[in-house]
Structure 1
Amino acid sequence: MDGTTLHVEVAGRGPVCVLSAGLALAWFDWDPVAALLAPHRTVVRFDRPGHGLSSPATTAATAAGEARRIAALLDALGLGGAPVTVAGHSIAGFHAEAFARLYPERTAALVLVDSSVEEEPRALLPAPVRTAFARLLGRAVTAAGLPAALGPAARRAAVRGSRVTGGDPAPRDLVRRCYRTGRVWRGALLENSGYLDTAAELLELRRTHPLAAPATVLAGYDGSASGAALHWLGRQAGLADRLAARFEVAEPSGHLVMADRPGQVARAVLDTARPAPDA
């Protein structure tokens, strides 16, 4: 679409579902879910620019831009016929919802997996300033050799902190291959610099483009009574209300729901068109 070479994995057979992972994550973070879906779905996973094995990001992501990327990817794969289920985790929930709103005729269902939520996004600094700082920091981090020295360890620590139990289930060789490069660090910093702009863009899309597809909001919850956990659960429930979506709680789970509760994520993708349970 913009000259960026994307890394893509396609497996399985049946109706198509697209899985997009959160900030600084990769296609292999969906491995447990993809294995459960492949007998029933054609599973498409891809790395956004600057993530996984895709080529470097050149600009900060936008909601509409990432929606167009998903559409172009499906066309390039020859999967642009029947409507697809699109699932987004964390910040990729913004992109998945944008796709569902901008391409209603191409969307069978929407699944938001512990999606980012911003009710009133307001940035303190202008977008060009944030983008320039992200580029500068990315170059400095790479020049200092931090990705090669600390990248895989930082990835493993982040994953441990995003789960209720267990460490990083990803293959260590793939983690080293991706996270020892400055490309991924720079890509994550650049995408994060546009986070609030993407959130604001999505709010505008909600005003102008109705959501026609059935939607599911799957919230990660560690089962604790902590104020932070309950507040996040309330925000996820509020998101489901705003989208008139089915609301499910993945418990116990951290933010990386795909690793903690892969079976529940797979069921959400397979069952999203069914009526919501009484809860």
Structure 2
Amino acid sequence: MTAPHPPARFVRVDGVPLHVVVEGAGPVVVLSAGLAMAWFDWDPVAALLVARDRTVVRFDRPGHGLSAPAADPPGAAAEARRIAGLLDALGLGGAPVTVVGHSIAGFHAEAFARLYPERTAALVLVDSSVEEAPRTLLPAALRTGAARALGRAVTAAGLPAALGPALRGAAVRASRAGRAADPAARDLVRRCYRTGRVWRGALLENSRYPDTAAELLALRAAHPLEAPATVLVGHEGPPDDAATGWPGRQAALADALGARFELARPAGHLVMLDRPHQVARAVLRAAT
């Protein structure tokens, strides 16, 4: 029998209705998933945190999950302001929060911690995107226009309705240790991934990826990181391979941030699905 879905609501932030799930009681933890992912991808981690007396806030960025599309392309500072605005709208603007970002949302979470140090108890990056020297070959406006056009064409062709859930399932399997299946409820997957909105949102966010990475580098130079930080990286290989490749880049990021470094293994990119207990432990100990 499928577990009941947690209560959800829609909160308007900067004119965009955001889908939000708030559970539990206690210190606040904000969870933000990666590109094209949804609030339910945090289900295992959220349950563990709620059981440890945390208030867990999960939300879908514009164009993701059940949230409405964004009028403007995303950026690091803009997404940090969105998190702050969401907390204010929920009446959670008091005590500092632990902000957790997965993949590209790691850029947004770190930007929040730097721009709102008084509101940040801790920062946790879960297999976060890393760009040491982001470069672009085409102007941002051209990339954004192409992403919008492609999104409209894909939607008009009916591809999300025909292939969306299957593509989501394939992407999840490719991003998990041992190519494990997608644990998400089928009704939720269909509800989100059969719509062109989600694919348009992912294309738009991806089109501005290098700009967001460059913006974060500028924020690092201007705004020191005051909150304790943890970098958690997924790894499927033996421990002695963790000093090179992707884990090595994550370790370098941890050094640059003065953060605690943790290796989650075996885990693919979707660490929160492969190692939810380890992610929850990292969040719980992050502010201590």
TM-score by length of structure 1 reads 0.96
Q: Quote the residue 1:10 is aligned against.
A: 22
Q: 1:231 aligns with which of 223, 245, 251?
A: 245
Residue 155 of structure 2 is aligned to residue 111 of structure 1: no
Residue 11 of structure 2 is aligned to residue 20 of structure 1: no
1:64-103 equivalence runs, <5 A: 64-103=77-116
Residue 219 of structure 2 is aligned to residue 210 of structure 1: no
| Alpha-carbon distance in 1 for matches of 2:158, 2:240 | 38
Query: Which residue identity is paired with 2:80?
Result: A
Once the two structures are TM-superposed, the CA of residue 59 in structure 1 deviates from its matched residue by 1.9
Residue by residue over 1:237-259, the C-alpha shift from the partner in whole angstroms, topping out at 9 and shown as x without a partner, is 01000000000000000000000
1:58-69 equivalence runs, <5 A: 58-69=71-82
- Does the 8 A contact of 2:76 with 2:108 survive in 1? yes
- 5+ residue gaps, structure 1, are 275-279
| Alpha-carbon distance in 1 for matches of 2:224, 2:67 | 32
Residue by residue over 1:186-214, the C-alpha shift from the partner in whole angstroms, topping out at 9 and shown as x without a partner, is 00000000000000000000000000000
1:255-270 equivalence runs, <5 A: 255-270=269-284
| Alpha-carbon distance in 1 for matches of 2:281, 2:46 | 11
- Secondary structure of the residue aligned to 1:249 is strand
TM-score by length of structure 2 reads 0.93
Of all paired residues, the percent bearing the same amino acid is 77
Report how many residues are paired: 274
| Alpha-carbon distance in 2 for matches of 1:244, 1:224 | 25
Residue by residue over 1:7-29, the C-alpha shift from the partner in whole angstroms, topping out at 9 and shown as x without a partner, is 00000110000000000000000
Once the two structures are TM-superposed, the CA of residue 58 in structure 1 deviates from its matched residue by 2.2
| Alpha-carbon distance in 2 for matches of 1:220, 1:123 | 27
- 5+ residue gaps, structure 2, are 1-12
- Does the 8 A contact of 1:85 with 1:111 survive in 2? yes
Report the aligned-residue RMSD.
Answer: 1.4
- Does the 8 A contact of 2:230 with 2:259 survive in 1? yes
- Does the 8 A contact of 1:219 with 1:233 survive in 2? yes
Query: Which residue identity is paired with 2:76?
Result: A
